[in-house]
């Protein structure tokens, strides 16, 4: 099997797979880049259904549940102070919980390739979050760049791709990053490119080869600063990341092991409109297998946790288990303002409404995921997003109990 959607296997002169989107791969093949397997029906995967006896060498650690993590990363949304309700300020973040706070998101000027605040008001928030280091000297504050909206149709859709393919653009970007670090007293950068080579999101075929070059240039220039990137947890989006070439140039990977299911699923998709957890360990384990098949060091892997839920209106109140379907996502709530979604600070209100089926993590399931991360020898856990928490930081406090950071006393 060849990588999906590249010029070498999808062009007028050669169409090996997926050109007409009927299949992912060549039936019976074995992926060269992600060592995924191709079923007899032409779809890629890593489970027994796809791979048969082809094993994956999963990491394994035997540790106590109190084992501390090297990294407990939390994203803070700079727009959280301006929400219609349940606003969350930097000063509400409890000290000692997070080893890293990622400011989400900064932007990039698509003409000059310079790193810039996404909004003028964000500069004050950068300083307020950086000031948390006075109370917690071991805390590191990074700026997260990009995000899902950054690659939506618009002026920045191809900006990551433009930078990755041009040495001159990389030099401009890196110089601006260094200035940004100094100006706002930051400790590193996290790149959230969603996703390389995605044609509908500004990507190009050569992103696969160019992204590692960008990361090498960035890491060499930043030296003492930390560099991380976010990764999707499903093959469709992960296949165009050259992990083997990127890994030497990042300190760690933040893996988005959430949003595995949601109200966007329809009867025409293979998943269908089923009531499924948006962050379940079965699919998380399968997603991480893609990393292990590429020889990624588990110490560099940070497991994503969600401080929000996904809500569905069940098709039948008498069918709420495996195999049951949903009619739609729950109505958009005032604070989250998104169909089928709820901040953790809104969870109690949504649960109280009859007919809703909600998937989210509480302290018990956060504990299960922290233990899973320990069993896989992972280097930490990550939260999207700190700013979804309750006013009294209920979920961050719970996280500190189930996933204490290494630097905590």
Quick one: pLDDT at residue 4?
31
- Which region holds residue 258: left if phi is over 0, alpha if psi is between -120 and 50, else beta? beta
Quick one: pLDDT at residue 32?
52
pLDDT digits (tens, 9 = 90+) for 296-335: 999 999 999 999 999 999 999 899 888 899 999 999 999 9
Quick one: pLDDT at residue 407?
64
Which residue spans within 20-139 are E strands per DSSP?
Answer: 37-38, 44-45, 71-77, 100-108, 115-117
Write out the two tokens for 288: 């991480």
Per DSSP, 376 falls in state T
Dist CA 1 CA 17 (whole Å): 8
Quick one: pLDDT at residue 63?
76
Dist CA 233 CA 260 (whole Å): 8
354 CB neighbour count, 10 Å cutoff: 5
| Domains of the chain with CATH codes | 1-55 (no CATH), 71-307+362-402 (3.20.20.80)
With b for 16 or more beta-carbon neighbours within 10 A and e for fewer, the 135-173 pattern comes to: ebeebbbbbbbbbeebbeeeebbbbbbbbbbeeebbebb
Quick one: pLDDT at residue 38?
64
Flag residues of the chain having pLDDT under 50: 1-23, 41-42, 408-409
Write out the two tokens for 396: 């961050």
pLDDT digits (tens, 9 = 90+) for 149-208: 999 999 999 999 999 999 999 999 999 999 999 999 999 999 999 999 999 999 999 999
Quick one: pLDDT at residue 100?
99
Element (H, E) at 364: helix 363-375
Nearest to 104 by CA among 135, 125, 134: 125
Quick one: pLDDT at residue 30?
52
| Residues 284/233, Cβ–Cβ less than 8 Å | yes
């Amino acid at each position: 099997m060849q990588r999906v959607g590249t010029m070498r296997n999808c062009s007028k002169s050669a169409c090996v797979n997926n050109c007409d989107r009927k299949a992912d791969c060549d039936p019976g093949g074995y992926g060269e880049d992600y060592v995924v397997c191709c079923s007899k029906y032409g779809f890629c995967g890593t489970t027994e259904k796809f791979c048969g006896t082809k094993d994956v060498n999963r990491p394994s650690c035997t540790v106590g549940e109190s084992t501390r993590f090297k990294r407990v990363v939390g994203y803070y949304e700079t727009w959280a102070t301006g929400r219609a309700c349940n606003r969350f300020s930097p000063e509400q973040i409890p000290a000692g919980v997070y080893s890293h706070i990622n400011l989400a998101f900064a932007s990039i000027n698509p003409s000059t390739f310079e790193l810039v605040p996404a909004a003028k008001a964000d500069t004050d928030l950068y300083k307020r979050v950086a000031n948390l280091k006075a109370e917690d000297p071991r805390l590191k504050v990074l700026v997260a760049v990009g995000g899902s909206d950054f690659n939506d149709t618009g002026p920045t859709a191809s900006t990551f791709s433009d930078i990755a393919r041009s040495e001159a653009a990389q030099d401009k970007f890196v110089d601006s990053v260094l200035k940004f670090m100094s100006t706002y007293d930051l400790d590193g950068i996290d790149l959230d490119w969603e996703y390389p080579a995605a044609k509908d999101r500004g990507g190009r075929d050569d992103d696969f080869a160019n992204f590692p070059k960008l990361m090498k240039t960035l890491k060499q220039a930043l030296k003492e600063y930390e560099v991380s990137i976010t990764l999707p947890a499903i093959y469709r989006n992960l296949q165009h990341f050259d992990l083997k070439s990127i890994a030497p140039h990042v300190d760690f990977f933040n893996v988005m092991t959430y949003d595995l299911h949601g109200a966007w699923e329809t009867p025409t998709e293979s998943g269908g409109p089923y009531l499924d957890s948006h962050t379940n360990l079965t699919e998380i384990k399968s997603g991480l297998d893609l990393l292990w098949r590429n020889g990624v060091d588990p110490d560099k892997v940070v497991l994503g946790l969600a401080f929000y839920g996904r809500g569905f209106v069940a098709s039948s109140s008498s069918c709420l288990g495996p195999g049951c379907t949903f009619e739609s996502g729950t109505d958009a709530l005032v604070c989250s303002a998104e169909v089928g979604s709820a901040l953790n600070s809104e969870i109690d209100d949504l649960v109280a409404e009859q007919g809703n089926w909600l998937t989210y993590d509480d302290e018990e399931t956060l504990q299960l995921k922290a233990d899973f991360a320990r069993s896989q020898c992972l280097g930490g856990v990550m939260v999207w997003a700190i700013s979804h928490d309750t006013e009294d930081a209920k979920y961050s406090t719970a996280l500190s109990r189930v996933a204490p950071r290494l630097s905590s006393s």
